[in-house]
């Protein structure tokens, strides 16, 4: 069973699904489109944003909404109120996506750190192409134990954790460890 907070549909970003998200990325996408259309003082940003959020919470018949379909709705709304230039300048931006490092470690196989990093690099490039600017990586400790082929935490696990953070940093993600997950920005990644 899937629990959807606030009755919002799950947003499908590529093959990832985002269920618990803040909607401010939608407002930011509209504002960015207005700026690209040389209308930085677009007065209806909040009105369009509020209308889209109302639609998502109350009118959207889907429980799983593809990101492109949401942007089609935003473009349609902007065109209907007479702002086609802003609609045409709208670029897809996505909510923050959470990815399990454990899944990447299992896919890479025990002890294959190089494959692990290649999987992460591919996923980050794919998400950036889909409009994601922020990614959270979860299950850090689990992934390290898989890669180290160990059942208990050791000094080599500490070192691998530092290596993973260093790899994210070298990739240009500006990683921030936040408890049991790592927050990364995809704006300046080098993939």
Q: Where are the domains of the chain?
A: 5-89, 97-185
Contact 149, 105 (CB under 8 A): no
Contact 77, 48 (CB under 8 A): yes
pLDDT at 1: 30
pLDDT at 106: 92
CA torsion 116-167-180-155 (nearest 10°) is 90
Q: What pTM was computed for the model?
A: 0.81
- In tens digits, the chain (191 residues) has pLDDT values of 333 456 889 999 988 999 888 899 999 999 999 999 999 889 999 999 999 999 999 998 989 999 999 999 999 999 999 999 999 999 999 999 999 999 999 998 776 888 999 999 999 999 999 989 999 999 999 999 999 888 889 999 899 999 999 999 999 889 888 878 899 999 888 76
pLDDT at 177: 85
Residues, the chain: 191
Dig out the tokens for 158 from the structure: 């500490």
pLDDT at 101: 92
Cα first-last separation, the chain: 36
pLDDT at 117: 92
pLDDT at 2: 39
Which candidate, 123, 111, 127, 7, places its Cα nearest to that of 67? 127
pLDDT at 111: 64
């Amino acid at each position: 069973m899937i629990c959807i907070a606030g009755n919002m549909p799950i947003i499908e970003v590529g093959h990832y699904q985002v269920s618990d998200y803040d909607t401010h990325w939608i407002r930011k996408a509209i504002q960015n489109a207005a700026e690209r259309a040389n209308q930085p003082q677009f007065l209806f940003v909040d009105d369009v944003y509020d209308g889209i959020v109302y639609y998502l919470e109350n009118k959207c018949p889907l429980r799983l909404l593809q990101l492109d379909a949401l942007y089609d709705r935003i473009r349609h709304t902007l065109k209907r109120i007479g702002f086609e230039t802003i609609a045409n300048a709208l670029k897809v931006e996505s909510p923050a996506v959470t990815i399990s490092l454990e899944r990447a470690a299992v896919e890479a196989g025990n002890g294959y750190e190089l494959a692990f990093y290649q999987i992460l690099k591919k996923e980050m490039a794919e998400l950036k192409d889909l409009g994601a600017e922020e990614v959270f990586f979860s299950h850090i400790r689990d992934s390290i134990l898989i890669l180290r082929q160990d059942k208990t935490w050791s000094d080599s696990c500490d070192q691998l954790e530092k290596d993973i953070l260093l790899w994210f940093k070298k990739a240009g993600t500006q990683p921030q460890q936040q408890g049991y997950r790592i927050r990364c920005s995809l704006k300046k990644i080098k993939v």
